């Protein structure tokens, strides 16, 4: 049924959050994302940028399951769109820049990234607690950088300034998201510790 998949994802996410290693999964995945962003330029020089793309897709799946919310459907949908974005970019990156297949994929990639930005902003606007949902804006900034990078490539106007600016935004967003994961993990551990003392 249409409700079976969300229910299964919610159950897996709840099960992960009940275990210490499961609660740490988000921080581990975000660390992997930061490493992938840092190594993306080297991978691109060797024509292997699709490898970080596949890893980022898997991390997006982890985030979707690990942070699945039963109260914020907009956030869940935005993260699902992010999975599609990462997967489509990974497929596009597997082709040589300038090739016909890469050009064919550029348009849906750019369109989906623009949609991703809009969905993350919408999810933030619908979040009940904005102070705890600022990470959605980081995700929107990350998708915006990917959008600008891919759009410039599609137009054939990509240059060192565009590349360096987009990489700086992606790294900054990844660092902030890692901080959010670690602070959330610390807050949960502290709350559990106080519960045991009481």
> What pLDDT, on a 0 to 100 scale, did the predictor assign at position 163?
87
pLDDT of 2: 46
Average pLDDT over residues 17-41: 84
Q: Indicate if the alpha-carbon torsion angle 42, 43, 46, 49 is positive or negative.
A: negative
pTM of the entire predicted model: 0.83
Which pLDDT score is estimated for 38?
87
Dump pLDDT digits (tens) for 67-120.
Answer: 887 667 888 899 999 999 999 999 998 887 778 888 888 899 999 999 999 999
Q: Which of 88, 146, 92, 95 is nearest to 117 (CA)?
A: 146
Long-range own/partner contacts, residues 40-44 (CB < 8 A, 24 or more apart): 40/167, 40/170, 41/167
């Amino acid at each position: 049924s249409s409700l079976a998949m969300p229910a299964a994802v919610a159950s897996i996410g709840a099960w992960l959050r009940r275990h210490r290693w499961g609660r740490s999964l988000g921080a581990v995945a975000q660390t992997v994302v930061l490493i992938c962003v840092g190594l993306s330029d080297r991978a691109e020089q060797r024509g292997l940028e699709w490898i970080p793309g596949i890893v980022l897709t898997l991390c997006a799946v982890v985030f979707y399951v690990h942070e699945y919310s039963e109260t914020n459907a907009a956030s869940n949908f935005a993260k699902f769109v992010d999975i599609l974005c990462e997967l489509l970019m990974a497929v596009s990156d597997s082709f040589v820049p300038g090739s016909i297949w890469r050009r064919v994929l550029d348009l849906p990639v750019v369109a989906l990234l623009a949609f991703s930005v809009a969905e993350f902003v919408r999810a933030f606007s619908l979040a009940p607690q904005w102070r705890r949902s600022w990470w959605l804006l980081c995700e929107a900034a990350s998708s915006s950088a990917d959008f600008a990078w891919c759009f410039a490539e599609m137009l054939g106007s990509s240059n060192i300034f565009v590349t360096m600016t987009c990489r700086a935004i992606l790294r900054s967003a990844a660092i902030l998201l890692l901080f959010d994961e670690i602070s959330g993990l610390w807050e949960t551990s502290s709350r559990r510790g106080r519960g045991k003392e009481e």
